[in-house]
Amino acid sequence: MRDRYSSVWIALLGVAVGVLATMLVVRLDANRRELRTKYSDWRKLNLILSSLDENYVDTVDRKAVTDAAVTAALGALDPHSVYMPPVQLEESEAELQGNFDGIGIQFNVPNDTAVVLEVIPGGPSEKIGLQPGDRLLKVDDVNIAGVKYPQDSMVRRMRGLAGTKVTVTVRRGSDVIPFEITRDRIPMHSVDAAFMVNDTTAYLRLSKFARTTASEVAARLSAMPDMKRLIFDLRDNTGGYFDQALLLSDFFLPKGASVVYIEGLHRPRKEYKADGKGAYQNVSLVLLVDEGSASSSEIVAGAIQDNDRGVIVGRRTFGKGLVQEPLYFTDGSGVRLTVARYYTPSGRCIQKPYASEEDYAYDLYNRYAGGEMLSADSIKVDTSAVYYTVAGRKVYGGGGIVPDVFVPIDTTRVSSFYQACNRKATPMRFASAWFDSHKAELQTIDSYSALVRYLDGAGLERAFLAFAASKDGIRPTSSREWAVEKPYLMTQVRALVGRYSKLGDDAFYHMYLAIDNVFEKAMEL
């Protein structure tokens, strides 16, 4: 009986609550007021934000809400209109300006301790006595060694305003040495390497289009007066300043040749042409590109291809052809807003489609899955949009620059030993250990021929295999496997060891080109 009454009571209570809810809705509906809105003047957005202040249950964090609203609004436009908080904007600007405030070292982290690769000449670290091979233990009182400290956090701790001080503690051999360093303005280079491959062919690798890029390239090229042919490597160059792409294209194009044009709803068409003052208009030119070449890299590649000025070798470029203009706010934040599109001289839009956010985000993965990295026949181009170069060659739209000569990714390095070595960074750690015990020899080498002779007689193969076995417990499964992997792994090892010489990255890339199938194809042309 009690249970039956309980059931009745619960049922009646449910009815009462339902009636109360209905009354509440009716009451609200009776007092409902509709705010006049129009999408055309952003009134709805403004009314919502005002309503938060007037009605929200708790205190509103205006900064958090504003940042979230701006990020969401720009996210509804295109993939490259972005909002950047102050710290992110400062880092981005510093990278592109070509200089920043810091201590002036380049390092890598072969295991869980950072090792100094290069001390920038004239920088504060060189003046105070830091050396290549020093292990970074602490920044001020923060331990950064042996604790898997994030590499980007290390960089932030060492950077700071010029004139401020930081104490960096290093291990050099068996000694632990604290260095008090006064930070200063540090130049950042966009040319990774530049050298003569043979008597007439030069190689130059460019990492980004920073504020100083054109002057850097000019200086490095002028140091190679015997150059008759240039292999210009733009792979993995994600772009940067637009004007630097124009200046670089000017180096190679004749007067009046179209470089690029931009156009948008609020930006009338504007075409940029070469001024004819370039010093390298008669140099034979090959550009290396891949799926990591974007923006300014694609402007240069498109200009060279459409003017039939050189040969593009590699794989289809990224496809970033939207023009951003910066907006700055007094709180240190900023917006990069897309205002136009880039078009190559033939009229191709560089930008790949972005109607589907998911397809855009996974585009490079889809290229792998679809076979584009292995076969030119799998490259997706818009054959309905045909364009013509100056010489009348057909080129197609669809996003990015399709190379004149396709080179697939190299899939031959797939043995278990090769993969295990790279998974554990064995070549990098071996090179660091080798430098520790051969520092005096390496630091005297200042010519490539001398470096090659040194490496040829150093017994690196035997030492590397012993290191891999003792430190990482990995060995080739057979002499046949090692015969296949030896050219790849030992070239890596030689390049990484050579990097510790005075030649730095010039030595690294010069060595590494021996196993670079895209460079090999360029040399065959």
DSSP per residue over 231-263, as a string? EEE-TT---B-HHHHHHHHHHHSPTT-EEEEEE
pLDDT at 299: 97
Which pTM does this prediction carry? 0.82
- The tokens describing 109, both together, are 């982290």
d(CA 229, CA 231): 7
Please tell me if the domain spanning 100-187 has the same topology as the one spanning 191-327+336-406: no
CATH of domain 100-187: 2.30.42.10
**Domain spans, the chain:** 100-187, 191-327+336-406, 416-524
The low-confidence residues of the chain, meaning pLDDT below 50, are 1-2, 4-28
With left for phi above 0 and alpha for psi between -120 and 50, is residue 100 left, alpha or beta? beta
How many CB atoms sit inside 10 A of residue 386's CB?
13
DSSP label at residue 77: T
pLDDT at 358: 85
SS3 content of the chain, % helix, strand, coil (to 5): 40, 20, 35
Q: Which of 185, 168, 188, 184 is nearest to 176 (CA)?
A: 168
pLDDT at 153: 84
Task: Give alpha helix (H) positions in 307-338.
Answer: none
Q: What is the mean pLDDT of the chain?
A: 88
Sequence-distant contacts of 138-142: CB under 8 A, at least 24 apart:
138/167, 138/168, 138/169, 138/178, 139/166, 139/167, 139/168, 139/169, 140/166, 140/167
Q: How far is CA 503 from CA 4, 71, 445, in A?
A: 92, 44, 8
Beta bridge partners of 186: 100
Per-residue pLDDT of 417-449, as tens digits, reads 988 888 887 898 899 889 889 988 998 999 999
Q: Does the structural domain 191-327+336-406 have CATH classification 3.20.20.450?
A: no
Q: Which residue has the tokens 């009605």?
A: 55
pLDDT at 219: 97
pLDDT at 18: 46
pLDDT at 3: 53
d(CA 522, CA 525): 5
Q: Which of 284, 387, 309 is nearest to 344 (CA)?
A: 387
